[in-house]
Structure 1
Amino acid sequence: MKKKKIVLAMTALLMLGGTAVYAAAPQIKGTIQNFKYVLNGKVWSHSGKPILVNGQYYLPVSTVKEATKTNITIDKAKGTVHIGEKLKETPILNEQVKYYNTALTRDDAYTGDFKEVILTKGSLPSVYLFPQGKYQTLVLDICAIEKDATIVIKNKDTKEELKSLFVSQDITEQIEINITGMKQVEVEVQGKAVVYPSSHYK
């Protein structure tokens, strides 16, 4: 097995409620291992290589994140590694949103208990969300109006369809979907619908 020597700046990790806190980073030697990955019984290709340090194997964050669909983000400023969902919910309108045949409206015919909502209009409207890989889960609160609608959620980066859901008229549905690692998500509405600002990331 071909091995390559490297020097790593390893951090001492203290696991605390899904968040790791690190201290000083001493330099130690490690060896890259050219192992093959098997994911759920099938050969899986990933560029990240395991590293052997003092008898223990370490996997790159990107490898673990993609294989387990668990979001892992590193906050260098605070010195923390966040693993999994955020405890605090972040409204989708707190992050970048773009609209195609949709718009924010304060029309009280649609807002209900909210100040403003996202209202679809025109042909094949879409809402483009930009979680930028910071979150594990997207929760959408959405209601079809005037008639039944179909909601199609896509990973905009890969064009992969993540979920397609039929929504009955005047029934508010809550859609929850794993968006680990995704930078852009498209919510396509086949029909007319309202997306409520209670929709959030976590």
Structure 2
Amino acid sequence: MKKKWMMGTMAAALMLTAGTGVYAGAKLQEVKAYLNGDIQLKYNGTPVQPRDEKGNAVLPLSYNGTTYLPVRAVADVMGVAVSYNPQTSTVEMGEKSEGVAIAKGFENMYYTKDPKATTYQGKDYKEAYFDNAGSKRSSSFMLFPKGKYQKLVLQVAAVGEDIDNFFIEDSGKKAKLKTDKLAVKDGLKTIEVDIAGVDELFIYADIKENGAMFVPLTTSYFK
């Protein structure tokens, strides 16, 4: 869900943490500004302390009658994903304009490119997670959005037997973001989950004997 927000008379400045050299060649103008510890930030009526990605407290900047807030800290408070693209000098907040397939960097013993295992209902997805071990078992894999994305769009199908226990968990907080049941008759199911601020995701299912779980990695994506 896209979020709209307003900071009263304060303007949010684009102040992302960046490595040395990121801004080389950028059109920067030097100004004299002041860290302003007198300004307090509230979100939905509750006082909050903006922090950087390392957990350190950060202060607003006052310049020429305007107060600037670090965009990463504000985004974290509001549960909005934020990232910086140094190639295009673009700050992206919320959902990305294009999805990023979870196939990139995916590692698991059930990862496969075998066409016999990546094909589901006549379509070859090229890369897939396909757990067909053939016994009653738990099946799981990890994803690592690293707080860069707003949403996970995951496609998943039960094969052979229904899956009665399926969930997606914020691994760091041990909090379930989504629980579901997967029926064979439903085919490939699309599940959307808000993952703003989440570093690691744990995807889990209980698989019955003679059952399997199929996840196409090329059409499941972060956004």
**Both proteins in one fold, TM over 0.5:** yes
Do structure 1's residue 71 and structure 2's residue 81 form an aligned pair?
yes
SS at match of 1:64: helix
Do structure 1's residue 108 and structure 2's residue 116 form an aligned pair?
yes
2:23 alignment partner in structure 1 = none
For residues 186 and 151 of structure 1, the distance between their equivalents in structure 2, rounded to whole angstroms, comes to 11
- For each residue in 1:1-26, what CA deviation from the matched residue of structure 2 results, as whole angstroms up to 9, or x when unmatched? xxxxxxxxx879xxxxxxxxx73232
Question: What is the Cα-based RMSD across aligned positions, in Å?
Answer: 2.7
For residues 126 and 158 of structure 1, the distance between their equivalents in structure 2, rounded to whole angstroms, comes to 17
SS at match of 2:72: helix
Task: Measure how far apart 1:73 and its partner are.
Answer: 1.0
Q: Percent sequence identity over matched residues?
A: 24
1:127 alignment partner in structure 2 = 141
- Is residue 33–residue 61 contact of structure 2 (8 Å, CA) maintained in 1? no
Do structure 1's residue 177 and structure 2's residue 193 form an aligned pair?
yes
Task: Measure how far apart 1:109 and its partner are.
Answer: 6.4
Gapped regions of structure 1 (runs ≥ 5): 1-9, 13-21
Gapped regions of structure 2 (runs ≥ 5): 1-12, 16-25, 51-56
For residues 195 and 115 of structure 2, the distance between their equivalents in structure 1, rounded to whole angstroms, comes to 31
Normalised TM-score (structure 1): 0.75
Task: Measure how far apart 1:104 and its partner are.
Answer: 2.2
Name the aligned partner's letter for residue 119 of structure 2. Answer: T
Name the aligned partner's letter for residue 37 of structure 2. Answer: Q
Considering fraction of residues, name the structure with more strand: 1
Task: Measure how far apart 1:189 and its partner are.
Answer: 1.5
Normalised TM-score (structure 2): 0.69
SS at match of 1:124: strand
For residues 92 and 11 of structure 1, the distance between their equivalents in structure 2, rounded to whole angstroms, comes to 28
- Identify the structure with bigger relative contact order (alpha carbons < 8 Å, sequence gap 6+): 2
2:220 alignment partner in structure 1 = 199
When the two structures are aligned, how many residues end up with a matched partner? 182
SS at match of 2:149: coil
- For each residue in 1:66-118, what CA deviation from the matched residue of structure 2 results, as whole angstroms up to 9, or x when unmatched? 12222221123432212222222211102x22326x33263636622123421
Deviation beyond 6 Å, 4+ runs, structure 1: none
Task: Measure how far apart 1:128 and its partner are.
Answer: 0.8
